[in-house]
Amino acid sequence: MSPEATGKETVSAAGILTAARSGNPALARDLLSRMIAEEFGFRITEVVLGADDYSLNSVNGFMTCDNGERFFFKFHHEENEDSVLQEFYRGEILLEAGFPVDMPAHVCRRIGRQILLYPLKTTPKLADAARAVDRGAPLPDADGPALIQAQQALDQLSATLYLRSWHPITAKQSADEPIHQLFHHRLTTPDQKPETLGGRATRFFAPERKFTFPDTSLTGSELLELNWVIDGIRYDRTLKGCFHNALKNLAPETLAQSGGVVAHGDAHNANVWFNPDSANLTLFDPAFAGRNIPTLLAEIKATFHNIFAHADWLYHSAELTSSPEIRIKNETAFVTTHWSLPPLRRAFLRDKARFLWRPLLEGLAQRNALPANWRETIRSGLFCCPTLVMDLCARSDDNPKSRHTPASSLTGLAIALICGAEPEKEDVISRFMMAIDPAGTVPEWNDI
């Protein structure tokens, strides 16, 4: 029976996400059960919403049908997704290209109700296995060397498949890919000129918002205009400058210059299973998979979220142990982060540079498809990951739903600026950029 016949309002993924985020899990479970019944004809007897900290714009969990069958479910919702009418969850594209991908038992691709149901698994997510290593308590059969070896294999395979599937794309083919929901669409607002900054960028950093840091508070307008000196290194632009660079560099028609590849596009570690028996990785939740993903965008999310989002500040901000400091003088923020990459993430960075980014950029150069602005494009993509994935403004009476503390807010903004701006002397991002430059000398990889 249709929702119209029952007199009930049509359930949407947006409604379920809103209920879950607003502290009404009972309503979220009820809406989800209704949507599953309407789409698949299942009667759900139990829904358990996921409690992990990695689902920043999605909902996952477990459900049991009246026949006893159990599923792991996940769905992703983006604001304004209805207006662009892009189809999510095209996992078969990845399977055909040769990626290791876990295909769902059931999938709904209807705009606004897109969801995946997987048979229940006991395999750990790579995110959980890697965090256990970071914290010195590795899971059985998931220690640091095993994870590093598995990630190396996936990076090598991904670089091979990207270059095998590479092809020229038009501006329209680029624009039609849903991956832009994670970047350019979050920088813009529908019905506004595409060169006008909008979307999450202007909402998260609204002029009147109050950003509270350790011992300092700033308005959004003040924050955007600051110059930065971070851990003794001066950077060449403001947060506002980084946003406007990203608006230009990440425009779909601009990104088309690097050609297109088949890619998952959002392979952060919470979308990857670690298989202890075979010590390999399997992708899932291909919400943004596509055949024409701009090449320079394909690995951005995995690079930032699996490496620079650690330790703790983005996903587990309440557990951040470092205490960053900030001092404002002469319209400049002098920040000491007390942050560094954990050993596992540094190994991931080294191997991502060695086995994926450098071979990929070398392949683009050989095809005369490496744009002159490739460094700025990668920097812009990395910058957008922390600033647009969630609100970096710390929790307060005016901002009660934020997950951030003053310390994690400042840490995140500093790391974002390090990604998006050029330093006056060498830092972790500039070393990474030098290492992957196909025109540069092959580096000593352990020095990254």
> Is it the case that residue 113 has pLDDT exceeding 50?
yes
> Is it the case that residue 244 has pLDDT exceeding 50?
yes
Helix (H, G, I), strand (E, B), or coil: what is residue 402? coil
CA 397 to chain centroid, in Å, comes to 28
CA atoms within 13 A on the CB side of 41: 0
15-29 confidence digits (pLDDT tens): 998 888 788 999 999
Distance between first and last Cα of the chain? 59
> Is it the case that residue 350 has pLDDT exceeding 90?
yes
169-211 confidence digits (pLDDT tens): 999 999 999 999 999 999 999 888 888 999 999 999 999 999 9
427-441 confidence digits (pLDDT tens): 999 999 999 999 999
Q: Is the pTM of this model over 0.75?
A: yes
Element (H, E) at 79: none
Per DSSP, 11 falls in state: P
Backbone angles phi, psi at 150, to 5 degrees: -65, -40
Give me the domains of the chain, ranges plus CATH numbers: 3-119 (3.30.200), 126-447 (no CATH)
**How far is CA 167 from each of CA 100, 157, 291, 294, 318, rounded to the nearest angstrom?**
21, 18, 10, 10, 44
| The pLDDT of residue 98 | 98
**Strand 70-76 relative to strand 58-65: parallel, antiparallel, unpaired?**
antiparallel
Helix axes 126-134, 144-165, angle to 10 degrees: 140
> Is it the case that residue 226 has pLDDT exceeding 50?
yes
> Is it the case that residue 3 has pLDDT exceeding 60?
no
| The pLDDT of residue 84 | 43
Average model confidence (pLDDT) across the chain: 92
> Is it the case that residue 303 has pLDDT exceeding 70?
yes
Read off the tokens for 153: 């294999």
Q: What whole-number distance in Å separates Cα of residue 380 and Cα of residue 367?
A: 23
**How far is CA 127 from each of CA 241, 288, 295, 367, rounded to the nearest angstrom?**
32, 19, 24, 35
Backbone angles phi, psi at 372, to 5 degrees: -60, -30
